[in-house]
Amino acid sequence: MNWKIGRNLDAFNDILYGGFGVHDVDEKYILKWHQSEKSKSELKYFDTIIEIIKEHESIELQLT
């Protein structure tokens, strides 16, 4: 793929809806976040990112 997304949480949210060539819109999939504990301690917006992901019923979030 040769496309770019914006650099903000709105763009991240848009990608989660699907339809950008990897997942179809509303296609169910598992999102595995590896080293999530490290991310939680280092990312300022970790909780906000988790909230955004959980708003999508088609995504099963797995924190590892």
Residue reference for tokens 């080293």: 35
pLDDT band at 48 (very low <50, low <70, confident <90, very high): very high
6 or 30, higher pLDDT: 30
pLDDT band at 21 (very low <50, low <70, confident <90, very high): low
Answer whether 27's CB lies under 8 Å from 60's CB: no
Rounded distance between C-alpha atoms, residue 58 and residue 21, angstroms: 16
pLDDT band at 1 (very low <50, low <70, confident <90, very high): low
Looking at residue 3, what is its pLDDT?
Answer: 62
Q: Does 4 have pLDDT greater than 90?
A: no
Question: In the predicted model, what is the mean pLDDT of residues 43-48?
Answer: 96
